[in-house]
Amino acid sequence: MFFDEHQIEKLEKIYRVNLMNSCSGYKSANLIGTISNNGQYNLAVFSSIVHLGSNPPLLGFFLRPTELVPRHTYLNIKEKEFYTINSIDKLNFEKAHHTSAKYPRDISEFDITGIKPKIITDFPAPFVDSSSIKIGMKFVEEIKIKHNRSRLIVGKIVSLDVKDEMLNNDGFIDLYKSQIATISGCDGYSFPVKNERQGYQKPRKI
Ligand SMILES: Cc1cc2nc3c(=O)[nH]c(=O)nc-3n(C[C@H](O)[C@H](O)[C@H](O)COP(=O)(O)O)c2cc1C
């Protein structure tokens, strides 16, 4: 099937959302944990977390426009500066997916889904207890994308907790060993079973 620019613009809304969200490939699957100034916990699923650099260690994620829908994750990050990024494992992906439902700000998705928070002394945001990878983040900057009013939220990794059995001697994390999810489109969860590591490439002698 081929779609040109005009045909894409004319597609039925849900069809276009599904098509545009899955055509770029598999995406990362994470839960972002935050807390408000009032002490209210929040948890939401995000599939746009991307590596931005190792030194300093930066991760970014894309936030949908805030003009019409309040984004609690964003409000809490702006209030507290700190947030957590947690892996979605096979054990909790159904619950994780439900955190995308639009609950009022005074309802915690931890309570609604039964996902257990893990509180670490002196870190002002809740982690997900069952996640194999728990990342502590500090807000750095935000970049507004004028074309569609979304934002790139940039943060620095300030702590990293990885299950021992997933961590290789060279620092590489074997995600498949804990059945960590990857997302396609808006609601397709997959669980890779193997890595084919190819090593760092250098130019061949010609
Ligand atoms: C699979 C999946 C991936 C999502 N990824 C993002 C994302 O990358 N950025 C975003 O702004 N919203 C994303 N969402 C939507 C949020 O999860 C949703 O808006 C949620 O209600 C936000 O919660 P909050 O208002 O408590 O922050 C995603 C939803 C689903 C189901």
Q: What's the pLDDT score for residue 52?
A: 98
Q: What's the pLDDT score for residue 160?
A: 98
Contact (CB, 8 A) for 158 and 66 = no
Indicate whether residue 182 lines ligand 1 (CB < 6 A). Answer: no
Which superfamily does 24-190 belong to?
A: Electron Transport, Fmn-binding Protein; Chain A (2.30.110.10)
| Helix (H/G/I), strand (E/B), else coil: 182 | strand
> For the chain, how big is the Rg over CA atoms in Å?
18
Q: What's the pLDDT score for residue 199?
A: 95
Q: Whose CA is nearest to atom 16 of ligand 1?
A: 100
Report how far ligand 1's centroid is from the alpha carbon of 81 (Å): 19
DSSP-derived letter for residue 142 is: E
pTM over 0.85: yes
Q: What's the pLDDT score for residue 163?
A: 97
Q: What are phi and psi of 155, to 5 degrees?
A: -140, 160
Q: What's the pLDDT score for residue 131?
A: 97
Q: Which amino acid is at 178?
A: S
Contact (CB, 8 A) for 60 and 152 = yes
User: What's the sign of the alpha-carbon dihedral 143, 118, 101, 104?
Assistant: negative
List average pLDDT for each run of 10 residues in the chain, which is 206 residues long.
98 98 98 97 98 98 94 97 97 97 97 98 96 98 97 98 97 96 98 94 95
Q: Where exactly are the structural domains of the chain?
A: 24-190
